[in-house]
Structure 1
């Protein structure tokens, strides 16, 4: 059994030596990543029995919309999806666009071996004993290889659960890129990791290229971002008050819970901050109404599509082009 006695990890800010110096020819680019996973009730305790992947039937049509816009999807596939032949067939067709990529996402609670009690702490794979984290990573990687004939190069730890040994485990297994850090976010209150010191710029650490999920602070007090945002969280509705007053907002680049006006402001700010590679994300069950809090009905689903249309239009106006994992690795050196 695994206890929850260990202390969650705080990830240190990148040093100057760790920063990736992107070549001028790379310009400013963007990636879209998708957490491709089973459906479950986001408001209920995690349960290993929840392994359905029926929402994958919405993935093919959604992918076609992205492909028509010239945007590949970096599919972070977890274990229940990797062992479902129907889901594998849908994703394999998506690879025909020549820009999409199959990566890996470790949902520890539905990935064997099952040696831990499922709770909020152990759901962050980086909190597990290193041998158990490694065994689950191997099971996931081998399942993807068996289903797709591909050794994944890019990884995400489910629930952003990147622990003290995770990057070295990934590097030793041939992974090249990690995207488990959500810039400016702190999950220690739910047993997870603290990324409040991580900004949106790519860097190298322990043999891996780290591409944090892009988040930025906007507003008149953005220079005081991390400290003020943390303190505001202690006041009733403090963060909402600051956001409505135009003083401070934290904006992650995702259509899930972020309205289009904020997303466009976040894009503008990230580019003004000199972020060379913007990393967007969403979850595959969001593509079918009723599985996540973000898309409950057809109206929400239409709003999801309009969000991406507006984002792609804003990126094009800035001259920011979609990129691929091959291009990112070549540019990172």
Structure 2
């Protein structure tokens, strides 16, 4: 079941931050001593968000929660009452460390269920003991969700998942056919709505610079077919702005492209605009996703441009992930 505008009849804006260690993504996945220097920049970032009125959700992984200094910073941010703390599972650096630590095992969905439970035990305990809250919101490391993980999350009391990355796929999972607006995921096929009412899905905003994302997603897939690669149709569509696949992240997209995505999302009737980034990107040159090495203050400028556009174009309400889910669920749920 998809949902229309929120119960407050406002367009919701969510900013989620994968709050994690920094490392060289071209090397091996770190297991022991993880560096979390980027967390020292979170107070500045959070103050910037407060100035805009934005209420971030910080999805925290184990190295951050286990660091006394980082946990203290998160407690200070929580004390502002303008943020939420969720959980973010990086398998490679969350105990117990067992077996291989390759690209395949970096995706939570590829782990056996008992190991997922063991790692979640450690992660949740670290957040509760050191940050002082029990997380209600979850995101897998490196995206992707399946029924096995959703059932585990329900058992641990999570109310909202945000692991769906619409119009993205890799060799381990596909969100190409995933619902691109908040929904109750089916436990057998989490990309589509189902009947369960234990855990809600709040995908990030991704799509195209034209409304009707589902239709244009099929078109983009068609012109991306290997047998058409010689025609370079995807590149032609991008450079002429006829069709651009876009993700609402200042690490990946310019302010202009994000605004075009937001306009198309609004024209498509999406009830929430969900931007994301990684805390490690605050340390310039360290993030997996910051392909253009955008400076920290340039990231701020991109976020500000999108927020100011929305404030001028819609009746906007800033929410954490849990707040957005609460507003989007129909009253009978």
Tell me, yes or no, whether TM beats 0.5. Answer: yes
- Verify: 1:229 aligned to 2:220, yes or no: yes
2:206 aligned to which of 193, 199, 215? 215
- Greater shift in the superposed pair: 302-311 or 263-272: 302-311
Aligned partners of 1:117, 1:300: CA distance in 2, in Å? 34
- Greater shift in the superposed pair: 211-220 or 75-84: 211-220
**What do the CA deviations read for 1:169-206 (whole angstroms, capped 9, x no partner)?**
11111110000011111122xxx321111132100124
Q: Which residue of 2 aligns with 1:173?
A: 156
- Verify: 1:86 aligned to 2:69, yes or no: yes
TM-score normalized with structure 1 length: 0.87
After TM superposition, give the deviation of residue 228 of structure 1 in Å: 2.9
**What do the CA deviations read for 1:232-265 (whole angstroms, capped 9, x no partner)?**
3331554222111222111111001201110000
Aligned partners of 2:249, 2:43: CA distance in 1, in Å? 20
- Verify: 1:45 aligned to 2:28, yes or no: yes
After TM superposition, give the deviation of residue 58 of structure 1 in Å: 1.0
* DSSP-derived class of the 2:14 partner: strand
Instruction: List aligned pairs for 1:168-207, cutoff 5 A.
Output: 168-188=151-171, 192-205=172-185, 206=196, 207=198
The answer on whether the counterparts of 1:127 and 1:161 sit within 8 Å (CA) in structure 2 is no
- Verify: 1:322 aligned to 2:318, yes or no: yes
Q: Which residue of 1 aligns with 2:192?
A: none
The answer on whether the counterparts of 1:289 and 1:295 sit within 8 Å (CA) in structure 2 is no
* DSSP-derived class of the 2:24 partner: coil
After TM superposition, give the deviation of residue 21 of structure 1 in Å: 5.1
The answer on whether the counterparts of 1:182 and 1:213 sit within 8 Å (CA) in structure 2 is yes
Q: For residues 130 and 223 of structure 1, do their structure 2 counterparts lie closer, same or farther at Cα, with a shift above 3 Å needed?
A: closer
**What do the CA deviations read for 1:47-67 (whole angstroms, capped 9, x no partner)?**
324611011111111110101
Q: Which runs of 5 or more residues in structure 2 are unaligned?
A: 186-195
* DSSP-derived class of the 2:86 partner: strand
Q: Which residue of 2 aligns with 1:105?
A: 88
Q: Which residue of 2 aligns with 1:60?
A: 43
* DSSP-derived class of the 1:88 partner: helix
Q: Which residue of 2 aligns with 1:14?
A: none
- Greater shift in the superposed pair: 22-31 or 98-107: 22-31
Aligned partners of 1:139, 1:232: CA distance in 2, in Å? 45
Aligned partners of 1:323, 1:55: CA distance in 2, in Å? 24
* Aligned pairs, number: 312
After TM superposition, give the deviation of residue 29 of structure 1 in Å: 0.5
2:253 aligned to which of 244, 252, 258? 258
Q: For residues 295 and 194 of structure 1, do their structure 2 counterparts lie closer, same or farther at Cα, with a shift above 3 Å needed?
A: closer
After TM superposition, give the deviation of residue 220 of structure 1 in Å: 9.1
Q: For residues 295 and 303 of structure 1, do their structure 2 counterparts lie closer, same or farther at Cα, with a shift above 3 Å needed?
A: farther
Q: Which runs of 5 or more residues in structure 1 are unaligned?
A: 1-17
